[in-house]
Amino acid sequence: MSYRVTFVCTGNICRSPMAEHIFRHHAEQEGLDVEVDSSGTGHWHVGDSADERTVAALRRAGYRSSHRARQFEVAWFDRYDLILALDEGHRTDLLRLAPDEEARRKIRLLREFDPDARELDVADPYYSRDSAFEEVREQIEAAVPGLLDHVRRAAKER
């Protein structure tokens, strides 16, 4: 059975779909048996495509970008092995939704996997300049090697 990872941000149109596509790309390159997707804590953008600036940042870096936004559902705690929040607010929302301690243990901040990260939040680029999307991409990419190592170890322990 595949190891299952999901990324969670606010509306699932900027940060979490970017993380989804970047991590999926690298996991596929590594040949890992991982299912990767994303969602948001809110319902505002359900069914929408990723923000055009997210798509542009992904394409410039050579990643795919097909996406439809969705909202995280409590029932999904049983579905995923690892639930990665893009900032502390998302982590707090997910912890509040978690039905039990087992579910809470699955929730982590993405940037915990970047040993050089000074700040663990991936800043929301939505109301910012276009270059903020490149900064988000760089922050996500910096966490990928540590996340790949974590997934390799965790998948072996299952």
For residue 79, name the pLDDT band (cuts at 50, 70, 90).
very high
For residue 29, name the pLDDT band (cuts at 50, 70, 90).
very high
Give the CA distances from residue 112 to residues 64, 84, 140, 152, in Å, rounded to whole numbers and listed in that order: 25, 10, 11, 16
In order of start, what are the domains of the chain with their CATH numbers?
3-157 (3.40.50.2300)
Catalytic residue among 15, 53, 91, 137: 15
Catalytic residue among 9, 53, 93, 121: 9
Whether residue 110 contacts residue 143, with contact meaning beta carbons closer than 8 Å, is answered with yes
Which pLDDT value is given to residue 69? 97
Is residue 137 among the annotated active site residues? no
Give the CA distances from residue 108 to residues 21, 31, 65, 81, in Å, rounded to whole numbers and listed in that order: 18, 23, 24, 11
pLDDT digits (tens, 9 = 90+) for 84-124: 999 999 999 999 999 999 999 999 999 999 999 999 999 99
Q: Would you state the structure tokens that stand for residue 29, as one six-digit string? A: 């390159």
For residue 156, name the pLDDT band (cuts at 50, 70, 90).
confident
Average pLDDT in the chain: 96
Is residue 33 among the annotated active site residues? no
The type of residue at 85 is A
Which pLDDT value is given to residue 64? 85
Global pTM? 0.96
List, in order, residues 6 or more apart from 101 with CB less than 8 Å away. Answer: none
> Which contiguous run of DSSP H or E holds residue 90?
helix 88-97
Is residue 124 among the annotated active site residues? yes
Catalytic residue among 14, 37, 124, 137: 124
